[in-house]
Structure 1
Amino acid sequence: MVIATVREEQAIRQMTERLVENYTETYSAEHIESTVGAARRKFEGRPVRQFIPILVERRVRRELEKAAEAEAEAATVAVEKAAEPNTTFTLPDLRQLWSANKRYVPLAAAAAVVVVVLAVVFAVRQPVSQPPAAAPAPAAAATVVRGVVGSEKMAFFQDPKVIEALARNGVRAEVEAAGSRQIATSIDLAKYDFAFPSSEQAAERIQRQRNVTVKYTPFSSPMAIATFKPIADLLGGTGVVRQGPVSTLDLRRYLDLVRNGTRWDELPGNTAYPVRKNILISTTDPRSSNSAAMYVAAASYVANGNTVVQGQTAEQAVSPALARLFVGQGYTENTTEGPFNNYLATGVGPTPIVWIYEAQYVEATVRGQIKPDMTLLYPSPTVLSRHTLVPFGATGDRLGRLLSTDPELQRLAAEHGFRTNGAAQFAKVAAERNVPVAADLIDVVATPTYDTLEHLLDGVTKSYN
């Protein structure tokens, strides 16, 4: 419980800083912190704390946006009312227009000027009576589409620009986060319109369970490694890391270190990180998370002599090497958001090397969360995680088509670090933010079939016991 509390506090602190940065021109930091505190109190006493920061952020963003819209509405209504013919004209309360919301101060001032001018005009000349204009037709209500998604996509669905782009198409997405393998194995999907795990393998299992043939893959992300420059330099001396414009981590050499049980303090000349613990990449829980499953896919390829694992004999041969990658880690989280947030918040101490989606690092760079000593590596070889949406009806299908074909939604996905159908969009984001990503993914291997990957994950699960 202590570890969970610390992680929750770290996530709440990071989320609050992010909100202050996003709304700095609209609200004071004190107001945002107060709103966060009020939202968090609504979840007091909840036993499951893993997604509390996500739920709090969603509630706070909704309240802040709603308040901002109300301020704009007040200013607009005042101007429109002043312009109405054949009505008794009264000056609005300018103090109300001059609100504490800094973003609308210029609008309030402009409204005040317009009101005064209109007051003079209507005092001199009342217009000829006109019949009232017909009321505009009410806007069609947005279709609500409910789904469960991999946690790494929550920031995308909570982005106000994404919400607005979907609304223009008559859609409002309500999503909940879960580990991708949880989505495929243990979550009741009957109450959702779609499922959006982070891999084709998890999507395939869902399709089998629900007897669905349709699927959409609007974007993808290769697996990557987040680390620190001193750690990359240290591993470079062993040949595990190859430095360059796009640095890589040799999975074969890394597996050798793990097989031999090499500790950090045993590396020659190690003054950067001389700790007495084994060299291990931090991952999520392979029993629930897709990113850990992708780790198994890449490592099994290397352990099988650079060949995709196929058949019971090969599965049994690589299982011991795969088990060693996980059992020494101790507690692992269900979603990639957990270890990556620890990497961003706590530094090199507990998480010197972390297995992540490339999209997470790019998105964090766009948000200004990457510190100068942090760096991105690509495992050699890596695997591509194709984020696959499975619809359970017409509304889910509509969302899948929008995410795959709408130019604005594809552009916003690239801003969140995902590689979309148009490669130029992702390349532009990376270039503008100076993120050292691989322009062309060359050293990418195929993943095992769904059944084989499940067998490998079952083998790792048994090693925990």
Structure 2
Amino acid sequence: MSVDTLREEQALRRATDHLVQVFAGTHSAEHVEGAVETIHRRFDGHPVRDFVPILVERMVRRELAEASPEATGDLRPEVAADTRPATAVKTPSDDIGDIPDTGGSNSPEATRPARIQLARVRGKGFLALGVVAVAVVAAVVVVNTGQEETPSPPPLTTVRGVIGSEKKAFFEDPRVQKALADKGVKVEVDPAGSRQIATSIDLGRYDFAFPSSAPAGDRIQRQRHVSAKYTPFSSPMAIATFQPIADLLSKAGVVKKGPVLTFNVDRYLELVTTDVQWDQLTGNTVYPVRKNILVSTTDPRTSNSAAMYLAIAGYVANGGTIVHGATAEKNVLPLVSQLFTGQGYTDNTSEGPFKEYLTVGMGPTPMVWIYEAQFVDAAARGQIKPGMVLMYPSPTVLSEHTLVPLNASGDRVGRLLSTDPELQRLAAEHGFRSGDAAQFAKVTADHNVHVATDLIDVVETPSYDTLEHLLDGVAKSYG
């Protein structure tokens, strides 16, 4: 493929994306793409290619503006085969005198030197060269005319979604809102616990659902009979704590120091099952309180982050294998229930306990179960104070933020979040890992956050049904 051909294809792709956004309210993306393909074929064989993408965009824009979706239907190439090209582009058989006069710089006087030159060339017998020059002059006429117009911004389509609360800051970011508006979209979101989204939220009011895990997304897909889904970013589960607590647990064999702090879940569960309290740890002078050593989580009855905590604990309690089947569920349920019921009150979303961690300190919440993205985002905002550190449970799970489109508008948001470079960059600034690992690495380096670069000790979550059985069992243990 030549460089010129590649440039033309790239320009056509940009034009097509823009037209899809402009006419999103009246024409499907397939309709617009079919129109572009049809018009583009009209220019096959023309030797001058520099202005073909511009001409194609203008012709498609005019055609779509004049036609309603009911009138045009599905614009496949064969349906629109009689669409005529703009008269500004001439074939070798067209008459030079048909070039339109537009006044000003495009008046007959202004174009007379080009006509005289064409006459001289034709007099020397170079007819083909004369035809090429006519095509160039015609294209310049169109370009100059277009430059006099101020392009209107694409109309905004309001799209509503229900999201996991940890993504609230991302969608409220003015830069994210502008990046979406530039694509013709205004997104309005309501935060909720991811398990609530999958089980109790009325999704009929929304264009997309965006929980924080693949199992919740799969449940929504089955319920709503949706085949499409997007995973624009992800985040491993982590523990926010304080350096004195990490040092104390290191002596107890729970925390291992290294490039990042790792939290041995197996050793932690030993302390929980033997009811060891903080003030019983050897040499504890930093947090000598009489209460059980527990990681603070969200409410497992509503929140995905708590479900991910349960998945990890269940895996370890099940001898290092994913919980599956009634027998395994029954065996691990007493232990995993203890991890939650011993905490007392728990919040519905991960935003609550992490906010308490940031503002109150280690008193009520020495260890908080969070998404890694929350800590990175807080660091980027300047909210991480000296002594606040991040630990990675071993093993951990990767929370795949799964967007399930409920209609065409929701699908459009899913595609934008997954493919738009600016939105991917902003997702990294909010702590999420996306397809562009370099962006995430830059954000963490800029804000001096020590994160796990290679996620090795990662386990899969149980099936949605198994996880639901365990969560129902934990809910019953609350009494």
- Give the letter for the 2:204 counterpart: A
- Give the letter for the 2:436 counterpart: G
Within 5 Å, give how 1:291-302 maps onto structure 2. Answer: 291-302=305-316
Aligned: 1:200 with 2:214: yes
Corresponding residue of 1:325: 339
Which of residues 425, 435, 440 in structure 2 aligns to 1:421?
A: 435
Which of residues 373, 388, 407 in structure 2 aligns to 1:359?
A: 373
Within 5 Å, give how 1:186-265 maps onto structure 2. Answer: 186-265=200-279
- Give the letter for the 1:163 counterpart: Q
1:283 partner SS? coil
Retained in 1: the 8 A contact 2:154–2:182?
no
Aligned: 1:437 with 2:414: no
Give the number of equivalent residue pairs. Answer: 333
Corresponding residue of 1:161: 175
Q: Distance in 2 between matches of 1:213 and 1:325?
A: 36
Which of residues 284, 287, 299 in structure 2 aligns to 1:285?
A: 299
Retained in 1: the 8 A contact 2:265–2:316?
yes
Once the two structures are TM-superposed, the CA of residue 207 in structure 1 deviates from its matched residue by 0.9
- Give the letter for the 1:392 counterpart: L
- Give the letter for the 2:472 counterpart: D
Corresponding residue of 1:455: 469
- Give the letter for the 2:388 counterpart: M
Aligned: 1:172 with 2:186: yes
- Give the letter for the 1:249 counterpart: F
Larger Rg: 2
- Give the letter for the 2:471 counterpart: L
- Give the letter for the 1:206 counterpart: I
Report the TM-score when normalising by structure 2. Answer: 0.69
Q: Distance in 2 between matches of 1:352 and 1:184?
A: 30
Once the two structures are TM-superposed, the CA of residue 230 in structure 1 deviates from its matched residue by 0.5
- Give the letter for the 2:160 counterpart: R
1:332 partner SS? coil
Say which is worse superposed, 236-245 or 333-342, in terms of deviation.
236-245
Once the two structures are TM-superposed, the CA of residue 139 in structure 1 deviates from its matched residue by 3.3
Which of residues 325, 337, 340 in structure 1 aligns to 2:354?
A: 340
Q: Distance in 2 between matches of 1:376 and 1:135?
A: 54
Change beyond 3 A, Cα 1:270–1:149: same
Once the two structures are TM-superposed, the CA of residue 135 in structure 1 deviates from its matched residue by 7.9
Once the two structures are TM-superposed, the CA of residue 141 in structure 1 deviates from its matched residue by 1.9
Once the two structures are TM-superposed, the CA of residue 443 in structure 1 deviates from its matched residue by 0.6
Deviations 1:378-401 (A, max 9, x none): 000000000000001110000000
Q: Distance in 2 between matches of 1:135 and 1:161?
A: 27
Q: Distance in 2 between matches of 1:273 and 1:329?
A: 17
Aligned: 1:147 with 2:161: yes
Once the two structures are TM-superposed, the CA of residue 209 in structure 1 deviates from its matched residue by 1.1
Once the two structures are TM-superposed, the CA of residue 226 in structure 1 deviates from its matched residue by 0.2
Q: Distance in 2 between matches of 1:226 and 1:135?
A: 54
Deviations 1:350-395 (A, max 9, x none): 0000000000000000111111111000000000000000001110
Q: Distance in 2 between matches of 1:174 and 1:209?
A: 23
Corresponding residue of 1:406: 420
Deviations 1:389-441 (A, max 9, x none): 00011100000000000011001000000000111111111111111000010
Q: Distance in 1 between matches of 2:448 and 2:251?
A: 26
Corresponding residue of 1:88: none
Corresponding residue of 2:32: none
Which of residues 402, 425, 428 in structure 2 aligns to 1:388?
A: 402
Corresponding residue of 1:42: none
- Give the letter for the 2:370 counterpart: I
- Give the letter for the 1:453 counterpart: L
- Give the letter for the 2:381 counterpart: R
Once the two structures are TM-superposed, the CA of residue 138 in structure 1 deviates from its matched residue by 4.6
- Give the letter for the 1:295 counterpart: Y
Corresponding residue of 1:276: 290
The root-mean-square deviation of aligned C-alpha atoms, in Å, is: 1.2
Once the two structures are TM-superposed, the CA of residue 208 in structure 1 deviates from its matched residue by 1.2
- Give the letter for the 1:439 counterpart: T
Q: Distance in 1 between matches of 2:404 and 2:218?
A: 9
Q: Distance in 2 between matches of 1:450 and 1:289?
A: 14
1:409 partner SS? helix
- Give the letter for the 2:342 counterpart: G
Q: Distance in 2 between matches of 1:278 and 1:218?
A: 38
Find runs of 4+ consecutive structure 1 residues off by over 6 angstroms. none
Retained in 1: the 8 A contact 2:230–2:402?
yes
Retained in 1: the 8 A contact 2:241–2:366?
yes
Deviations 1:89-120 (A, max 9, x none): xxxxxxxxxxxxxxxxxxxxxxxxxxxxxxxx
Change beyond 3 A, Cα 1:406–1:135: closer
Q: Distance in 2 between matches of 1:253 and 1:366?
A: 32
Corresponding residue of 1:28: none
Q: Distance in 2 between matches of 1:278 and 1:152?
A: 27
Corresponding residue of 1:117: none
- Give the letter for the 1:252 counterpart: D
1:446 partner SS? coil
- Give the letter for the 2:429 counterpart: E
Corresponding residue of 2:116: none
- Give the letter for the 1:257 counterpart: L
Q: Distance in 2 between matches of 1:138 and 1:430?
A: 38
1:284 partner SS? coil
1:256 partner SS? helix
Retained in 1: the 8 A contact 2:154–2:183?
no
Q: Distance in 2 between matches of 1:261 and 1:286?
A: 21
1:164 partner SS? helix
